[in-house]
């Protein structure tokens, strides 16, 4: 097993434990982005799939995070599952970002609840909204537009895949005697593993 495969297997195990523990929204993660000038921003999103190709989430491509990821295609993801281990487990993923191809985005969009599909049409994410009623009216307009037929994916809606160049596991312990393990991909593509001081 390669070190990258080991890191993914460790994530899979922890992710399964988080689901089994009944943690609300175990897929919830912080997504950190930055402008080309280095100004950071962060928000919560939901992990939709992950495999050896990377970690995928979906959003509006023209919202703030979408614009930042297209201008500066690097991101950091952070998972924290308090119920795991002695004092919680944290996983950080850092890497380059690619837009998910249309076929994959279409397949995921087709599985979403209809109301969520309509909401994607109603929202102009991160743009100024003059009143809540405007948003609600846009949702009703979308309902009428797609009445009696499938809701198509808006062209401004899609997914991002984070291709890991670093994955860190943090295991909380009493007296701040935590454990940290960092997997990193070097410029040569070779993965290394180090233990870090907490």
Residue 143 sits in a domain whose CATH number is 2.30.110.10
Query: For 169-181, what is each residue's pLDDT tens digit?
Result: 999 999 989 999 9
| pLDDT given at position 124 | 87
| pLDDT given at position 151 | 97
121 pLDDT more than 90? yes
User: Any alpha helices (H) in 21-88, and if so which ranges?
Assistant: 64-71
| pLDDT given at position 103 | 96
Helix/strand/coil for 148: coil
Per-residue b or e along 19-41, where b marks 16 or more CB atoms closer than 10 Å to that residue's CB: eeeebeebbbbebbbbeeeeeee
Nearest Cα residue to 97 out of 63, 58, 70: 70
Active site members: 176
Give the H or E element holding residue 54: strand 54-60
| pLDDT given at position 127 | 85
Tally Cβ neighbours within 10 Å of residue 94.
18
Query: For 19-77, what is each residue's pLDDT tens digit?
Result: 999 999 999 999 999 999 999 999 999 999 999 999 999 999 999 999 999 999 999 99
Containing structural domain, residue 10: 3-196
Q: How many domains does the chain have?
A: 1
1 pLDDT more than 90? no
| pLDDT given at position 99 | 98
Tally Cβ neighbours within 10 Å of residue 160.
24
137 Cβ neighbours under 8 A, 6+ residues apart? none
Longest Cα pair distance anywhere in the chain, in angstroms?
A: 60
Residues 27 and 45: their CA atoms lie apart, in Å, by 8
């Amino acid at each position: 097993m390669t070190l990258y495969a080991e890191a993914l297997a460790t994530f899979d195990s922890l992710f399964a434990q988080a689901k089994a523990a009944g943690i609300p929204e175990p897929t919830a993660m912080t997504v950190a982005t930055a402008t080309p000038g280095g100004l950071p921003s962060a928000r919560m999103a939901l992990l939709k799939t992950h495999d050896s190709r990377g970690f995928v989430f979906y959003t509006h491509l023209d919202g703030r995070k979408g614009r930042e990821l297209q201008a500066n295609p690097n991101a950091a993801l952070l998972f924290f599952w308090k119920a795991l281990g002695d004092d919680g487990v944290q996983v950080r993923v850092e890497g380059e970002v690619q837009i998910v191809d249309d076929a994959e985005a279409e397949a995921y969009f087709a599985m979403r609840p209809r109301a969520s599909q309509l909401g994607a049409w109603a929202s102009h994410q991160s743009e100024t909204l003059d009143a809540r009623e405007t948003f609600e009216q846009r949702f009703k307009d979308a309902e009428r537009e797609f009445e009696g037929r499938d809701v198509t994916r808006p062209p401004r809606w899609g997914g991002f895949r984070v291709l890991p160049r670093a994955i860190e596991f943090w295991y909380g312990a009493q007296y701040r005697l935590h454990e940290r393990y960092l997997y990193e991909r070097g410029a040569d593509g070779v993965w290394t593993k180090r233990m870090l001081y907490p």
